[in-house]
Structure formats: structure tokens, C-alpha cells
Structure 1
Amino acid sequence: MFSATIQYFLIAFGTLVSLYRLRDLLRSPRQPAKWALWCGILSLTLAMTCGPNITSFLPPDANFAIQHIFILGSFLAVEVFFWLSISERGHDWRSGRWHISVLVALTIAMLLAFAVSVVLEKPDFLHLDYQHQPWALATVLLYNGGLAVAMVAIALLARRWSRIADKPWLRRGLSTLTIACWFTMVYAAHHATFVVLPALEIQPPYSTDIEIVPIALGVILGLAGVTMPAWGPRLSALRQWTRYRRSARRLEPLWAAFCAAYPDIRLPVTPPSWDAEFLLHRRVIEIWDGRSRIRHLLDPDVARRAFETGDRHGLRGDELAASVEAALWHDALQRRHHQDTASHTGHALAAPATGNNLAAAVTFLEHVAHHFAQHPTPAVDSRARVRRHDAMVEDGGHV
């Protein structure tokens, strides 16, 4: 029951991956290397559908032959993918032809041994007697040999190209494919052991059921590895979007406080919900615009006291500067709220240096927002005032 569940899961996973890759290929079909890779994924998925759990309507010998042809064919297609990719980049791929030639030769030899076994031995391929059916034994050993040759070749190729790949997700995908190949090699060694030992009248020391583990790991990691360059960048984009949204949320109390005091600093175009980077840029621009509006209200005495307090608490560098800015901004916004407009232009405080990129500015403002939130809450909730301003603008009113 457990092995059947794993088989159905692998089939579903392989089908999804095949359809995902086919969609990309149909958009740009003139890519022979990627077509070879897709054929390998499809062939491996079809191989997993062969077995007594699904294709019970086929004779066991037909199931055996079809499944093993599909498996070796899938690995042959992956090797062709590598060599086509190499030739497309101007590299000489002839040095690797022997890998493909050996795999093809072993596949042909396996089919010949299978045909002889069916004619002469008429074995039950669900319960092979390796001790008395030498052609069936040869069939399985040739299959294991082809599997081992393919896995070594693909692992070496994937490992070699992962070291020089210039794209992070391509490098990760090739490394994952390498690991998948070694899990499959574990299965090949296990399978060969359970073929040779019974033929020598030796009882294997462990159950054959454990082979489902390296098979499942090899298939899942292999399919994930060959498709990782396609879906990996989308995952990175989603992670970056999440980071932008989280940073915008952290800056929101600070931004809302400035917008409540100076509603006109809000830019007219509302960022779309999907464009988190644009939203974060807006937050940063509007906060610094708000800071320029309160520049004449920044009190040097507040800055000095905030510096001394932060220094006593062990704050240094940007963290100390952020603490001072938070105290200055909070004091200035409070005075703005209470209509205290006494100017300190004679002692204007310059804006702190935060770098010339979005990441540096956001990091500094997040520190400021953290310290800003530790000050007493203003008498009027700034976010409520922003919401009232938005409602008035939507109704055509004036602020």
C-alpha cells in the first residue's frame, strides 16, 4: 500500500513537471536541447505508470520491457540535453559521445537478453528466478549497468557545469540533479545486490522494500533539479516581494505619522498591490519628503539628549543615528500637532547619510521606525488621520 501511494505521488509530480515544461516550450519551441529534456521528463513519468498497480491489463513481461525502456530512454534524453546544450555554446561535444554510445549499447543488449529470456525461459517477471533463469538475470544486470553508466555520466556533467554556471538557480538545479543521480546509484547497487545474491543462493541481509526510498528521492530531486532554473527565479521574486511588503509594513507607522502631519507629501498614484517594490520606494520617498518638511522644527537640544541617551545604552553607528533621528522626528511631529512652529533654522540639522540605494535607505528607516515606535503615542492616531484624508480626497473634499 505504501509503495503504491509513493508511485501515484511520483506519477502526479512527474505529470505536473511535464506540463509545466511543455507550457514554456510551446511559447518558445525552437530549443532542441530543452525538447530533449522534456522528452526525458515525460519518459520517466511514463515509466512510473508501468507496474502491477496501474497497468495490470498488460502482461508482466510487456510491463517489464516498456518500463525499463522508458527509464533508460529518459536518461538517454537527459544526456542528449547536456550535449546539445554544450554544442549550442560552441563547445565540442564529441568527447562525450561514448557515454551515449555505451548507454545505447547496453539498452540494445538488455532488449536482446529479454527477448531470449521470453522465448527460452518464459519467466514470470513479477517473481524472477535468477538462479535458474540466466537470461533473465542478464537482462536485469544489463539494465543495472545502463542505469549506472547513465547516472555516473549525468552526475559528472551536472557537477562540472554547476561549478561554472553563472545563474544561481541553474547552479542549484545542477547540484540537486547531481544528488539525485547518487541516490539513483544507491538504488542500482541495491538492485544489483538483490539480483546477484539469490543467483548465488545467498539470502540478502535486508528487505527489497527499502528500494522505494532511493527511488523516490532520486525521482523527486531529479525532476526538481532539471526544472529549478525555470521556477527558481519565480521563487526568488516571490521572496523579494515578501521582503518588500514586510519592509513597507514596518515603515507604515512612520510614514503614516508624516502623512497625518503633511497629507500633501503623498504622491498621487496609488501603487498596485502586486508591485511591492514600487510601494516601498513610495514609502521611502514620502518619508524623506516629510523629513524635509519638519527640518525647521528639528531641535538640536533634542538631538543632543537623544545622542547621550543612546550612547549610554550602548548604541553605535547607524543604530545610534537612527535613534537620534527617531527622537527628532517624534518631537517635531508632536510640536507640529500642537501648533508649536518655533523654528530652529539657525541650527538646521542635516539628514543622515543612508547610502545611495534602496536597501541601505530601507534598513536605516526600519531602525528609525523601531525607535520611533518606542516614544509615547501622539494624541491623535496618525493612521486614522491618513484614512480620513483619503476619504475626503475620494469624496472630492478639501483637506
Structure 2
Amino acid sequence: MSETLLLIIAAAVVWRLYLWSRAPHDAPTRSVALSLLCAGLSYPVAMPGGATGIDTVAGHGAAKLAQNVLLLGTVYFLMSFYLYSADGQAARRRARWEAVVVSVVATAIILGAVSGPHEALAGSFSTADMTISQVAFFYAGAGLYLMYALGAAGRWSARYARMSGRPHATGLWMTAIGLGAMAVACAVRAVFVAVRWSGGTVPDQLMNSVAVGLVVSSLLFVAGVTYSGVRARITATRLWTRRRRDHRRLTPLWQLLIEVYPGNELRPASSGLWDRWRARGVHRRYHRRIVECRDGLVDISPYLVDEDDDSDLLLLEPEELASRLRRAAVTIRQGSPAPGQAVPLAVPKEDDRDADVRQLIAVSEALRLTA
């Protein structure tokens, strides 16, 4: 579970850093990237191996302190995203003011951590001695700020979700629910701190349930932030796959027409090996092949007209049209003049590009089966 979550967060961080690199001066994009980066760094710090390594180098409790400071940065940059998205001077001043607030909170919990007894923060939240005032202040201060920032970001996410259409609304609702759940979990943990500081106890099962809720809500938040981009990539990949497949399926028809009319072959924009796999190259070759096939059909159509046959060529089945195309190609190679005028061939009933491609593929498949 932890390894899967780390991979998901790492993928989200890499994706958002890539988007930031494409728009380095865009404040909302920068804020999301930095928010996910802080979240991504805080997770391995919180894992047993990472915490042990940091504590060994920097002293007991350093990992816990670093994790919480990174979490403060995570929610601050998340708030900044919404503030900068408002694109107003008041919103930008609010973002700068929130930077002061988070800096004060971070400084306060750092001072609380370093002023407490040695190794007081070495354990986890469930094992920490909350009767020590510095420890209680550390967890309460960080938790209350997280509750405030996550709650505010969750409200903004829900507001934008109501104004947005799918698929953006879906991602925003996932984000809003994840943020709201995390804010509630932080509030509950703050109550736990108060109870334990006053000498009370909290059942381990209850604390574990809240910890699991935090992990699940964090995962939902990350999924929501990346939902629109991932969905767009999936859609683009499906289109890329379909067009590569259709390009291959058009090969029999394209080869027959190019052999008799080689001048119809358009010059490729690029012949590099990488261009064969790039999305732009695949789409370019796909559209070029359609144009070449259509040009070839226009040129070869006069040879399909038979003075003794008054049938409508538009009504021919793909198998019959494929048979006539083969006979016409033989006639052209023999140097025979065109017996008629150009006529439309393989025209679909629907007036759209996909229907046109399906019609061409049907003829091409018939040529392949009768080869």
C-alpha cells in the first residue's frame, strides 16, 4: 500500500513539474507543482526507513519536524493555487499574507520542537508523550493550521467544481472531498492532542482509524489533482493507438493507388525514426494517408465506369469496389485511356471524417482479403 501510494505521488509530482517547466511564470501552475513536491517529499520522510536515516544524521525528531514543515508547505502552496487563480490584486495580497502566517506557524513549531526534551518527537503521533507541553504544542499547532488550510482549500475546490464542467468538475470534486476529509482528520487529531495533554487516553484503534483516513483522503486528493491531466493523456493515447491501427489498415488500398499514381504520394514532413512514434507524427501520417487515398480514388474512378453497366458506383459493396479497383489498376498499367469521367467513390452516408475513414478501411480490408 505504502509503495503504491509513493509511486502515485511520485508520478503526480513529475507530471506537475513538467507542466510547470512549460509555463514557468504561471503562478497557479507553480503553486500546484510546489504543493505536490512538498507532499511528495514529506511522504518518504515519514516512512520508517526515511525517518530513521534523517534522525540518525540530524538527531532524533528531525524527521518528524521535517515532515510537518513540508506538510505546512504543501497546504500553503495549495491555498496559493486558489488565490492566484482568482487573478486579482486582493487575492495576491492574501497569498503573501498567508505566506507570513505559515512562516510564523512553521517557526513556532520548530521552536517548540527544539525546546522540548531530547527525543520527545522520536516516536509517532500515537506514541508521543502529549503531557509534555512542547510536544502537545508541536502537534496541535501544525494540526490546527493544516485543518484551517485544508478546509479553506476544500471549500474553494467545491466552489470551482460547481462552476466547472466534466471532466474538470469530477477531478475538483475528488479534490474537495479529499481535502475536506483531511481537514476533518486534522481536527480530530487536535482533539486527541487536547485529551492526551490533559492526561486522558485515546484508544489505539481510534487513532489508527484516523491515520488510515488521512492516507486514503491524501490519495483521493492526489488523484483529484491529476484526474483531468491523466484523463486527457488516456484519451490522447487511445486516439494515437486508433490512428496507428487505421493507418496500417489503409495500407492495401494506399499501396494499390500509389503504385498506379505515384505522384499522389505527399512528401513526409519528417523521416526520423522518432517521428514514427510521436503523437504529432502519427496524426500527420494518418491524415496524409487519407488524403493520398482520396486523391487516388478520384484519379482511378474514370476507369471504373463501364458503358455497359449503369450501376451507381456509390452503391457498390466494398468487396465489389475492391474487385473493380484491381481491374482498373491493371488497365492503367497497360496504358489504356480513361473510358469515363471522374466520379465519387466510397462516399459514406454520414458527413463526418470518421465515417469517411471507416468507408476507406472497408474497401482496404476487402482488398487485403482478396489479395
Q: Same fold (TM over 0.5)?
A: yes
Give the Cα–Cα distance (whole angstroms) in 1 for the partners of residues 22 and 121 of structure 2: 47
Query: TM-score, normalized by length of structure 1?
Result: 0.65
Q: Residue deviations 1:130-173, cap 9 Å, x none? A: 4x44663454344333222222221222232244458x776565
Structure 2 vs 1, CA of residues 270 and 84 (structure 1 numbering), >3 Å: closer, same or farther? closer
Aligned residues: 348
- The residue that corresponds to 1:326 in the other structure is 318
1:1-399, aligned counterparts within 5 Å? 3=2, 5=3, 10=6, 18=13, 21-22=16-17, 25=20, 28-51=23-46, 52-54=48-50, 55-57=54-56, 58-87=58-87, 90=88, 93=91, 100=98, 104=102, 107=105, 111=109, 114=112, 118=116, 125-126=123-124, 127-130=127-130, 132-133=131-132, 136-137=135-136, 139-164=138-163, 174-182=172-180, 184-185=182-183, 187-188=185-186, 191=189, 200-205=200-205, 208=208, 211=211, 214-215=214-215, 217-223=216-222, 225-226=224-225, 236-260=235-259, 262-264=260-262, 266-270=264-268, 272=270, 273=276, 274=278, 275-292=281-298, 293-298=300-305, 324-336=316-328, 339=331, 345=340, 350-351=344-345, 352=347, 358-370=353-365, 372=366, 377-378=370-371
Please identify, of 336-345 and 136-145, the stretch whose mean Cα deviation from structure 2 is larger. 336-345
> Which secondary structure does the structure 2 equivalent of 1:30 belong to?
coil
> Which secondary structure does the structure 2 equivalent of 1:93 belong to?
helix
* Equivalent pair of 2:172/2:225 in contact (CA under 8 Å): yes
Give the Cα–Cα distance (whole angstroms) in 1 for the partners of residues 182 and 305 of structure 2: 67
Q: Residue deviations 1:319-356, cap 9 Å, x none? A: xx7x734144223124336649798749x864435666
Structure 2 vs 1, CA of residues 369 and 103 (structure 1 numbering), >3 Å: closer, same or farther? farther
Give the gaps of 5 or more residues in structure 2. 271-275
* Equivalent pair of 1:186/1:214 in contact (CA under 8 Å): no
* Equivalent pair of 1:248/1:280 in contact (CA under 8 Å): yes
Give the Cα–Cα distance (whole angstroms) in 1 for the partners of residues 113 and 295 of structure 2: 81
* Equivalent pair of 1:103/1:149 in contact (CA under 8 Å): no
Shift of 1:301: 5.8
**Letter matched to residue 361 of structure 1:** D
> Which secondary structure does the structure 1 equivalent of 2:42 belong to?
helix
Give the Cα–Cα distance (whole angstroms) in 2 for the partners of residues 25 and 228 of structure 1: 17
Structure 2 vs 1, CA of residues 270 and 159 (structure 1 numbering), >3 Å: closer, same or farther? same
Shift of 1:67: 1.8
Shift of 1:20: 5.5
Give the Cα–Cα distance (whole angstroms) in 1 for the partners of residues 119 and 322 of structure 2: 90
Structure 2 vs 1, CA of residues 103 and 205 (structure 1 numbering), >3 Å: closer, same or farther? farther
- The residue that corresponds to 2:273 in the other structure is none
Give the Cα–Cα distance (whole angstroms) in 2 for the partners of residues 338 and 43 of structure 1: 68
Give the Cα–Cα distance (whole angstroms) in 1 for the partners of residues 249 and 118 of structure 2: 76
- The residue that corresponds to 1:394 in the other structure is none
Please identify, of 284-293 and 76-85, the stretch whose mean Cα deviation from structure 2 is larger. 284-293
> Which secondary structure does the structure 2 equivalent of 1:60 belong to?
coil
Shift of 1:45: 3.1
**Letter matched to residue 47 of structure 1:** S
Shift of 1:251: 1.9
Shift of 1:71: 0.5
Please identify, of 103-112 and 151-160, the stretch whose mean Cα deviation from structure 2 is larger. 103-112
Structure 2 vs 1, CA of residues 16 and 332 (structure 1 numbering), >3 Å: closer, same or farther? closer
Give the Cα–Cα distance (whole angstroms) in 2 for the partners of residues 291 and 122 of structure 1: 81
> Which secondary structure does the structure 1 equivalent of 2:55 belong to?
coil
Structure 2 vs 1, CA of residues 178 and 303 (structure 1 numbering), >3 Å: closer, same or farther? farther
Between the aligned residues of both structures, percent identity stands at 21
Q: Residue deviations 1:103-148, cap 9 Å, x none? A: 7499369728945982699575442234x44663454344333222
Shift of 1:193: 7.4
RMSD after superposition: 4.7
Give the Cα–Cα distance (whole angstroms) in 1 for the partners of residues 188 and 337 of structure 2: 84
Q: Residue deviations 1:264-300, cap 9 Å, x none? A: 2541414642422222222222222232213442469
* Equivalent pair of 1:297/1:342 in contact (CA under 8 Å): no
Please identify, of 289-298 and 150-159, the stretch whose mean Cα deviation from structure 2 is larger. 289-298
> Which secondary structure does the structure 2 equivalent of 1:256 belong to?
helix
Give the gaps of 5 or more residues in structure 1. 307-320, 379-399
Structure 2 vs 1, CA of residues 287 and 354 (structure 1 numbering), >3 Å: closer, same or farther? farther
